[in-house]
Amino acid sequence: MIERYTLPEMGRVWSDAHKYELWCQVETLVVEAHAEAGTIPAEVVEPVRKAPPPTPEAVHAIEAVTQHDVIAFLSAWADNTEPREAARYVHFGMTSSDLLDTALALQLVEATDILLAKADALVATLRDHALEHSATLRVGRTHGIHGEPDVWGHRVADFAFAMARSRDRLRRAREAVGVMAISGAVGTYSNIDPAIEAHVARRLGLKTAEVSTQVVIRDGISEWTSALAIMATVCEAIALEVRHGQRTEVRELWEPFGKGQKGSSAMPHKKNPIISERLAGMARIVRAQIVPVMEGIPLWHERDISHSSTERIALPDASIALDYMLNLTGRLMSGLVVDTDRMTANLESTGGLIYTSTVLLELVEAGMSRDDEAYPLVQKAAMDTWETGVPFRETLRKHAGEAGLTLDEARLDEVCRPERFVVRLAPMFQKLAALV
């Protein structure tokens, strides 16, 4: 992921320097476990524990020759070990995937915890915004066309619950990726006791793989990547709503626009929904990682490394991009400007067409057949309003008179109030208030 979208905390998780710190941590725990079991001399533990991690530059210089990153790391770390002889017992009985998969599990857990904290904050922001606007009337739209009266808080509540489910999904995926294995070549424990693996797992707070054939199978990592993609797409759904709301023809919502900000290099009047558009673009990056990561599940026999090059790009990119997106979506919602007057104006702009469904039901209850009488009458009046701009109640009265019908005007006044449409949302808002 390019630096533009990399926030410091998440960037450090995926840095080479941190990766080598984790590799040292894993290897040191294995050395300690071996020493406790009596399989290697106890006196080598302290020199290994004290040896500082190698710098990325030192590892990369050796890797340029060896063309093997783990061997390059081990050689560079050995150079930092005093006495160097103690390093002979590092990686004892292990294979490369033991180190790579175990350290990767730590990185994935660390990245997930950062994302979960931000998801928690975003759920709270969405919840509070929705509750604040639980009585803010606006028109509900289907297919982009005005439907019936609604409230803005209802729309945002949908996003709040979706983000909460996405967060909970990611929590479950955290368990799926917190899995390690130290089982040796082809995963048979031929040169390392399973007790070593169990010891390291306990110290790292990870689970041991139920089966390891040298590589931890990638179904858990695929689940994690999918959870990230779903969460990113919920952020995009929020952004899409704001993008539509900021259109000149709609003008119900506005992204935060800071002092000194410029909307266009050519048109000074422009206030563009750049945050929302950026979120839409970045969601594509996160979703794009699902298939490449999932294709790492099938490997040749006990192992190959076709998954490795993919994951070096896909896993950091997915988590770094989502980290940025959660930050940006929180900023979007906390600074969102809601134009309630414009929402009211738009609600009333179709001359009462938003009440056709209510009128239809009233006519049915008054004794008219739905399909043969009520629906054709209401539709004729509605089309008349669309074409002439005459308010719906007037066109309805006209067409009803032509059909020899008398309308209960008082009853229509009662049912054609926008507030009437939202009273049944109260239980939903009560649930929302309890959302954490």
pLDDT tens digits, 89-145: 999 999 999 999 999 999 999 999 999 999 999 999 999 999 999 999 999 999 999
pLDDT tens-digit map of 29-68: 999 999 999 999 999 999 999 999 999 999 999 999 999 9
Does 73 score more than 90 pLDDT?
yes
Q: How confident is the model at residue 256 (pLDDT cuts 50, 70, 90)?
A: confident
Please indicate whether residue 264 is annotated as part of the active site. Answer: yes
Question: Could you say which of 15, 60, 97, 143 is catalytic?
Answer: 143
> Within 13 Å of residue 76, how many CA atoms lie on the same side as its CB?
26
Does 259 have pLDDT greater than 80? no
How far out from the chain centre does Cα 435 lie?
18
- Catalytic site includes residue 244: no
Among 264, 306, 349, 369, which one carries the catalytic annotation?
264
CA distance between the termini of the chain: 31
Summarize the confidence of residues 220-226 as an average pLDDT.
Answer: 98
Average pLDDT of 231-251?
97
H or E stretch at 156? helix 152-177
CB 159 within 8 A of CB 237: yes
| Whether the Cβ atoms of residue 264 and residue 270 lie closer than 8 Å to each other | yes
How far apart are alpha carbons 226 and 286 in whole angstroms? 9
Is residue 352 very low, low, confident or very high in pLDDT (cuts 50, 70, 90)?
Answer: very high
- Residue the block writes with tokens 């998780």: 13
Q: How confident is the model at residue 354 (pLDDT cuts 50, 70, 90)?
A: very high
- Round to whole Å and give the CA distance between 351 and 355: 10
Q: Give the pLDDT band of residue 260 (cuts 50, 70, 90).
A: low
Q: What is the CA angle 215-221-222, rounded to 5?
A: 115
Give the separation between CA 125 and CA 39, rounded to whole angstroms: 54
Which token pair is 280? 């839409």
pLDDT, one tens digit per residue, over 161-199 is 999 999 999 999 999 999 999 999 999 999 999 999 999
Per-residue pLDDT tens over the stretch 276-291? 999 999 999 999 999 9
Tokens of 172: 């479950």
CB atoms within 10 A of CB 170: 20
pLDDT attached to residue 126: 98
